[in-house]
Amino acid sequence: MTQTKLPQTKLTARNVDVFYGDNKAIDDVSIDIGNGVVTAFIGPSGCGKSTFLRSLNRMNDTIAGARVTGQILLDGEDIYDREMDPVALRARVGMVFQKPNPFPKSIYENVAYGPRIHGLAQKKADMDGIVEKALTRAGLWNEVKDRLTDAGTALSGGQQQRLCIARAIAVSPEVILMDEPCSALDPIATARIEELIEDLKSRYAIVIVTHSMQQAARVSQKTAFFHLGRMVEYGDTHQIFTNPREERTKDYITGRYG
């Protein structure tokens, strides 16, 4: 393994707790997430991966009863500050979900929607350029360029997920959060998304939740292992999978529980 140089920190979480009512789902998590690398969150079902991921772009704000304490900084800026607009934040920290969820609109409109509400294009030609660039970056342009007015929902599952990635990219995010983005996809579509993540990683900070340890090992440079709401171990992916420091990490990666 070659030593990668220390990535520039994009997101910092300090002593983050997340509650659903009285139930503490995330307990005292602190982590620095680097720019230009892929960070994987792994751990058994229900350990809090999605909950913690959602705290990174304030998606938990939309869940009744959810409460986040501690600090999360994006380039040093507190994302829970009263001055922070959550809609603007979610453009900077985009999200891709488990099930592809294109809007019931055309392929073009799925991508143009975000740039329009954020006022990123003055003219039709500008918007056309943004849409083409986002679809190209998401590896979908050649497949859809002649059918941009077709419904997004008419695409295959894998194409829909790339459309959702294009939609996130279109508003020029700095961070892309992906919550098990391949769990509804077949192996070929999964491989395309993994290649895409590799192509995108130099431009963004990417965080991917995955239940597949093989996927984490393939796509990520950093891995955080969660268990029962705590982050048990965080380090270089290679080290986590070959030489974990913690017994609980070792038990998980050797399949003792899942």
Residues in the chain: 258
- Strands 66-74 and 77-78, by their bridges, are antiparallel
Q: How far is the CB of 95 from ligand ADP (least distance, A)?
A: 13
For Mg ion, the closer CB: 170 or 178: 178
The pair phi, psi for residue 200, each rounded to 5°, is -85, -20
Number of residues that bind Mg ion (CB under 5 A): 1
Question: Is residue 45 near ligand ADP by the rule CB under 6 A?
Answer: yes
**Could you say which of ligand ADP, Mg ion, none residue 206 binds, taking C-beta under 5 to 8 angstroms by partner kind?**
none
Distance in angstroms (rounded) separating the CA atoms of residues 115 and 102: 15
Neighbours of 118 (CB within 10 A): 14
| Residues sharing a CB contact under 8 Å with residue 38, sequence separation 6 or more, in sequence order | 197, 201, 206, 207, 208, 219, 220, 221, 222
Question: Is residue 25 near ligand ADP by the rule CB under 6 A?
Answer: yes
Q: Give the strand order in the sheet containing 77-78.
A: 23-34, 9-20, 66-74, 77-78
User: Max Cα separation, the chain?
Assistant: 57
Window of 43-51, 109-117, 134-142, 151-159 that interacts with ligand ADP by CB under 6 A: 43-51
For ligand ADP, the closer CB: 63 or 117: 63
Question: Is residue 58 near ligand ADP by the rule CB under 6 A?
Answer: no
For ligand ADP, the closer CB: 21 or 86: 21
Distance in angstroms (rounded) separating the CA atoms of residues 144 and 135: 8
3-class secondary structure, 67: strand
Question: Is residue 46 near ligand ADP by the rule CB under 6 A?
Answer: yes
Please, which residues bridge with residue 225 across strands?
42, 233
Question: Is residue 47 near ligand ADP by the rule CB under 6 A?
Answer: yes
Window of 38-46, 89-97, 123-131, 188-196 that interacts with ligand ADP by CB under 6 A: 38-46
Q: How far is the CB of 215 from ligand ADP (least distance, A)?
A: 15
Residue from 35, 39, 50, 106 touching Mg ion (CB under 5 A): that is 50
**Could you say which of ligand ADP, Mg ion, none residue 139 binds, taking C-beta under 5 to 8 angstroms by partner kind?**
none
Residue ranges in contact with Mg ion by CB under 5 A = 50
Question: What does the binding site for ligand ADP look like in residue numbers (CB under 6 A)?
Answer: 20, 25, 43, 45-51, 63
